[in-house]
Amino acid sequence: MSIHCNAKNGDIAKTVLMPGDPLRAKYIAENFLENARLVNTVRNMLAYTGTYKGKEITVFSSGMGMPSMGIYCYELYKFYGVENIIRIGSCGAYSNDLNLSDVVLVDKSYTEGNFAYEWSGTEEHLANSDGELNNIIENTSKEINIPYIKGNAFCNDCFDGYLDDIPSFINRFPKDLNIIACEMEAFALFYMANYLGKKASCLLTVVDSYFKKQSSSSEEREKSLNNMILLALESGIKI
């Protein structure tokens, strides 16, 4: 059984939304779910299970970075019978076509890191999201009129906003992948889902843009994330 989660058997739904921030999980539970109950408090990595339009959904925080995501998604898939995880997070934009508050649906996640090698001894740096989950999200987007941009994302071990030489960082992006955004967790999620035969997807909200020199305040970020949260929830009830 999990050593990082004190939820009991039956406390976690088959479909999980996974923000990085524990307080964002709390915000979603309080503002979007009905009859939400707290099911995990270990390390204050808060998790809540409730219902959305009659379907049971769990919102479970992942923390920051691939190691943290790797631990929590593995335990959810392996020990709690979770079948589907939709990461919902923030990202930096590396495309002129993206603006603040845009929602990104990640197709493939690329990393320079060694997560896959450390797990299984394989040199893998590209992981795919689940096509079936993505199709549900894309169809739901049209139904509820919340637009998205689909593309590939870079999954970094360092917060890119603090890098001294971002042009060199961008120059390392594989040119054939057309990377449009950067975040820190999706590769670990996709890799573990594929390894365990489960499903994973990732929705991101743009909160800063390198090319347009734009960024959001913490208050603006919370408001702009609501569209992404709603898209994930509406998709989740169709899985």
Give pLDDT, residue 136. 98
Report if residue 10 sits inside a domain: no
Q: What is the mean pLDDT of residues 210-225?
A: 73
Residue 218 clears pLDDT 90, i.e. is over it: no
Give pLDDT, residue 221. 67
Q: What is the mean pLDDT of residues 59-78?
A: 98
Q: What is the mean pLDDT of residues 20-28?
A: 96
Residue 63 clears pLDDT 70, i.e. is over it: yes
Give pLDDT, residue 215. 73
Residue 219 clears pLDDT 80, i.e. is over it: no
Residue 84 clears pLDDT 90, i.e. is over it: yes
Report if residue 153 sits inside a domain: yes
Report if residue 113 sits inside a domain: yes
Q: What average pLDDT does the structure give for the chain?
A: 95
Considering its fold, how many domains does the chain have in total? 1
Residue 134 — pLDDT band, cuts 50, 70, 90? Answer: very high
Q: Which of the following is catalytic: 102, 107, 160, 208?
A: 208
Report if residue 1 sits inside a domain: no
Tell me the pLDDT tens digit for each residue of 98-109.
999 999 999 999
Report if residue 6 sits inside a domain: no
Give pLDDT, residue 222. 65
Whole-model pTM above 0.85? Answer: yes
Residue 223 — pLDDT band, cuts 50, 70, 90? Answer: low
Residue 179 clears pLDDT 70, i.e. is over it: yes
Q: HEC states along the chain?
A: CCCCCCCCCCCCCCEEEECCCHHHHHHHHHHHCEEEEEEECHHHCCEEEEEECCEEEEEECCCCCHHHHHHHHHHHHHHCCCCEEEEEEEEEECCCCCCCCCEEEEEEEECCCCHHHHHHCCCCCEEECCHHHHHHHHHHHHHHCCCCEEEEEEECCCCHHHCCCHHHHHHCCCHHHCEEEEECCHHHHHHHHHHHCCEEEEEEEEEEECCCCEECCHHHHHHHHHHHHHHHHHHHCCC
Give pLDDT, residue 194. 98
Tell me the pLDDT tens digit for each residue of 29-49.
999 999 999 999 999 999 999
Report if residue 212 sits inside a domain: yes
Domain, as residue range, for 76? 15-236
Report if residue 140 sits inside a domain: yes
Residue 153 clears pLDDT 80, i.e. is over it: yes
Residue 176 among the catalytic residues: no
- Which CATH number goes with the domain that contains 104? 3.40.50.1580
Give pLDDT, residue 213. 75
Report if residue 186 sits inside a domain: yes
